[in-house]
Amino acid sequence: MSRFEILCVTMHQKDFSKIEQMNIHSDVVFANQDDRTCFEEKEFDGHLARMITTDTRGVGINRNLALTYAKGEICLFADDDVTYNDDVEERVLAEFDAHPDADIIIFHLDTDSERKQIKYNETKKCSRFCKMPWGGVRIAVRLNSIRKANVWFTTLFGGGCIFPSGEDSMWLTDARKKGLTFYVSKETIGKIDFENSTWFTGADEKFYYGKGAFYQALHPKTKYIWMLYFALRTLKDGGLTFFEKLSWMKSGNEGYQVMNWYPKCH
């Protein structure tokens, strides 16, 4: 078992060129969704890259596949549009070594998107009531901890799934419910371009439909409060009115309960 491994979800890869593009200098697992099924390995600079290619679709399936093949003591979730600092392995391992009770540590990534800039001035332990506004690409874990807790990603939410987002929040919520210990880190490990999202098409009908499903799944008893809050928070976003947003979120509630694909809304 290596000490550190990157678990990267990707699509339509025919080779290992992502190693150079992402500036990877460690062991890595690529969970690759394409129109074929195969397994490939590549040794580079004393490290091992493995690519598991399947014809499945959905980011949750892909992250779970990477987790299934993972061997690193400490694993870092990744998307293929991240570019890492040269010393990412040293920074991540140093934080876990300094905080031996940490099961999960959240790291910072530089980005041009202001709404995604969440930077911490110090590394600190999170309380059980702290907000969790973190995407999967910021999460590093002790592999044994999450395997013992049996924490996996939903296959219903996220890019390529029935509902377009929310898988990271659901995974983090499940991990917290199962008693795993969270830290946020002051360390920056790379950069990412959030503006070129593969799933976010704007504050449109599909987006609010997915949010409604998300609140039904995660907050079934308080979903209407969450829906009202979100409609107010995004009042100036997109071309929908306040009541249209609420209506699409309500449809998402119902869609999740009956598991229908979102309606055609273009």
Encode 4-23 in three state secondary structure.
EEEEEEEECCCCCCHHHHCC
Write out the two tokens for 199: 């799933």
Question: What is the CATH topology of the domain spanning 4-192?
Answer: Spore Coat Polysaccharide Biosynthesis Protein SpsA; Chain A (3.90.550)
Q: What is the pLDDT of residues 121-134, one digit of tens each?
A: 999 999 888 888 78
pLDDT for the residue numbered 68: 97
* CB-count burial class (<10 Å; 0-12, 13-18, 19+) for 14: exposed
Structure confidence at residue 113 (pLDDT): 65
Give the Cα separation of 79 and 33 in Å (integer): 13
Helix (H) / strand (E) element for 40: namely strand 38-44
Q: What is the mean pLDDT of the chain?
A: 90
Q: Is residue 33 a contact partner of residue 11, using CB atoms and an 8 Å limit? A: yes
Quick one: pLDDT at residue 263? 47
- For residues 4 and 72, the answer to whether their CB atoms sit within 8 Å is yes
**What is the model's pLDDT at position 264?**
45
Tokens of 94: 């140093």
Burial of 114 (0-12, 13-18, 19+ CB in 10 A): exposed
For residue 27, pLDDT over 80 is answered with: yes
Whether the predicted pLDDT of 176 surpasses 70: yes
Quick one: average pLDDT of 111-115?
A: 69
pLDDT band at 51 (very low <50, low <70, confident <90, very high): very high
Tokens coding 101: 């009770």
Tokens of 150: 């049996």
Query: In 3-state terms, what secondary structure has residue 185?
Result: strand
Q: With residue 217 as reference, give the H or E element that holds it.
A: helix 205-218
Q: Which of 37-41, 63-67, 80-84, 152-156 has the lowest mean pLDDT?
A: 152-156
**Residue 265 predicted with pLDDT over 50:** no
| 240 Ramachandran zone, left/alpha/beta (phi>0; psi -120 to 50) | beta
Question: pLDDT band at residue 194, thresholds of 50, 70 and 90?
Answer: low
As a whole number of angstroms, the distance between CA 67 and CA 75 comes to 9
Query: Residue 8's beta-bridge partner residues?
Result: 30, 78
At residue 266, the pLDDT reads: 37
Closest CA to 125 of 83, 154, 162, 95: 95
Percentage of the residues of the chain whose pLDDT score is greater than 90? 70
